[in-house]
Each structure stands twice: as C-alpha cells, then as structure tokens.
Structure 1
C-alpha cells in the first residue's frame, strides 16, 4: 500500500511538472513543435503486411515556424517498399495552434521485428539564424508478419528521463510524452493514447 501511495504521489507531481513546463515554454516568444507518429499494421490477403504511417505536427508555442520539413527515412529498404506517398515532405509555415499532417504506406513480405526511428522535423525561426530541429514520438517495435495475437495495451516506459505513454490497439502504435517519473505498466481496452492518459489520471489522482 505504501509503495502504491508513493507511486501515485510521484506521478501526480510528474503531471503537475509537465503542465507547468508546457505553460512556461508556450509563454516564450517562439514555436514549440510537438510531433506524434503513428503506425497501423494490416495483414493483406496476399500474405504481405501493409504499414500505414501518419505523422501530425503541432505548434504549441507563441510564434509561427517557417520552412518546415519532415523526414522519416528510417525505414529499411531491405524490409519495406513504399506503395503510397513519400517519407519526406515540406511546408511553407506552421502557425501557432495549427497542425500539419502527413501520411504514407509501406509494404513488407519480410517477417521481422522492426525498430522505427523518430521522424525529424526541421524549421526556421525569424529570430534565429540556425535551422531548428525537433523529433517525433517513437513507435513501439513493429512485429511484421507476427504469428502472435495482438491485444490492446498501454505502457508507461521511462526513456532518457521521460515517460512515454505508448498504446498498441487495433494494430496501432504511437506515443505521447510526459516528462519525468518512474516506469509503470497497465492494460486497457482503449486504443487511443489520449484515452489512456485520461484513465491513468483517473486512477492516480
């Protein structure tokens, strides 16, 4: 009971710290880029695995970002082939509170566990000469052509001083970042990261 109480207190402090940190960053006169990368696996009748990838880029800062470029080139050509779209694109600007979305589809006939790297977003800020860089949330390992049954789960995994809320449901993989805290694991019947966060908050608060 003491261990659970201590964990609840710690994660409550983590949530408060995250909200305070986000408010402080949003209050500065600069863009604050958050990118959410998702992948959906779909087994085709041909026996191949189709991977549908989508990346949403948000500007939660107080200034527009210009010359925004996205690159998600970490997909091995030995495992995947592109069947729709491109793994990179660009936009002229990303205004405050706006979102940019990009998607593409891959196909694989190679049974493997693939570790996708975060997508890279570069952009310019009028007050800075150097090109700015941001990264998307990572994906859970993708089990291509796996024989194991898939189920709805979410995990809080500590990664380099951060907690990643990661869900896998209906062949879906994605992540939302909350800074600080310890690792914890759980299960739910939901497939969306936002709903997993709500469940966690209801349990812990």
Structure 2
C-alpha cells in the first residue's frame, strides 16, 4: 500500500508529464502548489496543526502579485497560534519556490476536511488575475484515539524502504524463470504410446 506522500509524488509526476508539452512551449507562469499538515498532540488535551504550503513556478515567465489564501480552517475548531492563513509576494520568478508556514491549535475532537489553498497571480500579458489551487489534505483526525503501532513498525519501515526493489527483482526473476523453463504442453514427445 502506497503512503500518502508516495501517492502525492506519483500524482505530481503524472501531472507534470501530462502538462510538460504545454509548459515547455508556453510563455507564462505555471503554478504548482503543495499543502502539508502535521499533527502534534499536547499533554493538556490540545492538538497542534502545523501547516506548510509550497508554491512553485514551473513556467518560463515570472508571476507577479502572488497571493496565497487558505481560509478553510474553521474558527469554531481552530485558533491561530502563529503565522497567518494568507500571504502575498511581489513576484515569483520562473523556476523558483516560496513556502509559507502557520500553526493552529484545536481542542475539539473531529475529523476535519481542509479545502485546497487558493493562489492568485498576475501575468503581464493578461488583464485578469489567474488562479491556481494547492493539493488537498487527507482528512485530519483531530484528537482521535490512536492505538500504538509499535508491533510492526520495523516491518513497515523495511517495506517502505525496500518494497519496490523487492517487487522489481521478483518480476525479473519470474520473467527469467518463465522464459527459461521449457513448455510442458502440446509437444509430440510428451504423448504416451499405447
């Protein structure tokens, strides 16, 4: 089973491969944004959510008046501890990256679904503001009852580290076995004489 990070990287690679011809031939910014969150349980029945949003300009031209807005964090559930849920930059050069961080705190036990962050930017050749969206987050289980998962942690780490290598070697060995093993069906030499 692929981890959420692995799935996210696979989706990014597929997206870049699909859009690469358009990116390579266009003279405009191409904004790709990735939103991540991590949970930290504090001792006093509070859970802290650390959010980071990376914004990449994969295009060939600078994006101007770049603004990030992430208003999906409900004020009834979360309190802002540090940073802001919005940020702006004068420009984002072609091939560059900016990151934004903020921390929230929650005392409410819930499963929270966060919407993608919205990035707006201006292109010199177009009058209207352009929009891009970050990747969505997986549902966050705030203050969920978590069982300790120490029993098979070593196996999970080994599988995550070497699983794809073992799969590739297994496929090659199976292929070599199938190719090198003679067929046992249908030949004249295999028929019994009566």
TM-score, normalised by the number of residues in structure 2: 0.69
User: Which consecutive aligned stretches of 4+ in structure 1 deviate over 4 angstroms post-superposition?
Assistant: 15-18
CA distance in 1, matches of 2:135, 2:112: 16
- C-alpha deviation, 1:140, in angstroms: 0.3
More strand by share: 1
1:77 — aligned with what? 75
Against the structure 1 CA distance between its residues 92 and 49, is the aligned structure 2 distance closer, same or farther, given a 3 Å change threshold? same
Relative to 1, partners in 2 of residues 1:34 and 1:47: Cα closer, same or farther, differing over 3 Å?
same
Gaps of 5+ in 1: 1-14, 152-187
- Deviation per CA, 1:68-118, whole angstroms, max 9, x where unpaired? 000001100110000000000100000011001100000000000000000
Which residue of the partner structure matches residue 93 of structure 1? 91
Once residues 148 and 35 of structure 2 are traced to their aligned partners in structure 1, the CA distance between those partners, rounded to angstroms, is 20
**How big is the shift at 1:25?**
1.9
In the alignment of these two chains, the number of paired residues is 150
Task: Determine which structure has more spread, i.e. the larger CA radius of gyration.
Answer: 2
Q: How does 1:53-202 map to 2 (within 5 A)?
A: 53-149=51-147, 189=157, 199=164
Bigger helix fraction: 2
**SS at 1:147 equivalent:** coil
CA RMSD of aligned residues (A): 3.0
2:14 and 2:35 mapped to 1: Cα distance?
25
Structure 2: gaps (5+ residues):
1-12, 150-155, 172-194
Partner of 2:186: none
Contact 1:84-1:106 at 8 Å conserved across structures: yes
Tell me if the contact between 1:36 and 1:137 (Cα under 8 Å) persists in the aligned partners: yes
After TM superposition, list the pairs within 5 Å mapping 1:37-48 onto structure 2.
Answer: 37-48=35-46
Normalising by structure 1, report the TM-score. 0.66
Secondary structure of the equivalent of 2:115?
A: coil
The answer to whether the Cα contact below 8 Å between 1:27 and 1:61 also exists between their aligned partners in 2 is no
